[in-house]
């Protein structure tokens, strides 16, 4: 942020994953915060949308508003209605997403068939200290695992899970799992054995039990 300011640049933070429930980029000095409202704000995997939150109302804000109005990137009234209704349960959902993700991450970290768990709430995460400084009260609902045995075992684990739907996107009440490299394509730098998990708000013990049975059969 200091470097950006030195060169007169605007800073933009995509806060879709952390959400304002855990991270407040404007308080950390960012100029514009970006959200895919498709994800945790919507929370039910049934709308598409986005939001920009500005620190200041100035001529740049007015310009971007103009682009939005003239460009037509405006959500439908029904999508706005769904989004407003979803926001009433936003804080309740986020607390469960985060608590579930922490429980699942801790469980998976001890599993011998899992090579590595990537979750900012775990002390083993390389950026855990930064996350703890920036995030308040939790670390969100997204985590990744590297599965031992490469791509083949990663895909097999996906198919053995019964509660986790094999799909892209994130932030909905239901747990999703995705073989990220298949989505990103052959040029992706994502490891072949990486699975990304959007932890839902189901009972944590059910999610852990599902992983237990899948890992046993892997």
Ligand X SMILES: *Cc1c(COP(=O)(O)O)cnc(C)c1O
Contacting residues toward ligand X, per CB under 6 A: 14, 16-17, 36, 38-39, 48, 50, 170
Q: Which is nearer to ligand X, 35 or 125 (CB)?
A: 35
Tokens standing for residue 27: 């308080």
How near is the Cβ of 171 to ligand X at its closest, in Å? 8
Q: Nearest approach, Cβ of 139 to ligand X (angstroms)?
A: 15
- Between residues 50 and 191, which has the closer beta carbon with respect to ligand X? 50
Q: Are strands 176-179 and 194-198 parallel, antiparallel or unpaired?
A: antiparallel
Closest CA to 164 of 88, 94, 101, 72: 101
Nearest distance in Å: CB 212, ligand X? 28
**In contact, 218 and 161? CB cutoff 8 Å:** no
DSSP helix/strand/coil, 52: strand
Nearer to ligand X, 13 or 214 (CB): 13
Q: Quick one: 16 or 193, whose CB is closer to ligand X?
A: 16
Rounded to whole angstroms, how far apart are CA atoms 34 and 66?
17
CB of 169 to ligand X, least distance (A): 7
Q: How far is the CB of 149 from ligand X (least distance, A)?
A: 28
Concatenate the DSSP letters of all residues of 134-203 into one string. H-SS---SEEEEEETTHHHHHHHHHHH-SSSEE-S---SSS-EEEEHHHHH-TT--S-TTEEEEE--SS-
Query: Considering beta carbons, is residue 93 or 210 the nearer one to ligand X?
Result: 93
């Amino acid at each position: 942020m200091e470097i950006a300011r030195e060169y007169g640049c605007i800073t933009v933070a995509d806060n879709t994953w952390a959400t304002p429930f855990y991270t407040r980029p404007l308080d950390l000095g960012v100029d514009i915060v970006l959200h895919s409202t498709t994800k945790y704000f919507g929370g039910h995997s049934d709308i598409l949308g986005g939001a920009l939150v500005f620190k200041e109302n100035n001529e740049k804000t007015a310009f971007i508003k103009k682009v939005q109005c003239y460009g037509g990137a405006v959500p439908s009234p029904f999508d706005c209605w769904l989004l407003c209704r979803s926001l009433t349960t936003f804080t309740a959902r986020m607390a469960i997403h985060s608590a579930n993700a922490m429980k699942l991450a801790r469980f998976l970290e001890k599993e011998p068939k899992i090579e590595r768990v990537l979750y900012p709430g775990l002390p083993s995460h390389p950026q855990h200290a930064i996350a703890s400084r920036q995030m308040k009260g939790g670390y969100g609902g997204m985590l990744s695992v590297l599965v031992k045995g490469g791509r083949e075992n990663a895909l097999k684990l996906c198919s053995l899970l019964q509660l986790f739907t094999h799909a892209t996107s994130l932030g909905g009440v239901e747990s999703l799992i995705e073989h990220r490299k298949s989505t990103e394509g052959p040029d992706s730098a994502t490891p072949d054995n990486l699975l990304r998990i959007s932890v839902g708000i189901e009972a944590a013990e059910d999610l852990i039990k599902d992983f237990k049975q899948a890992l046993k059969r892997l």
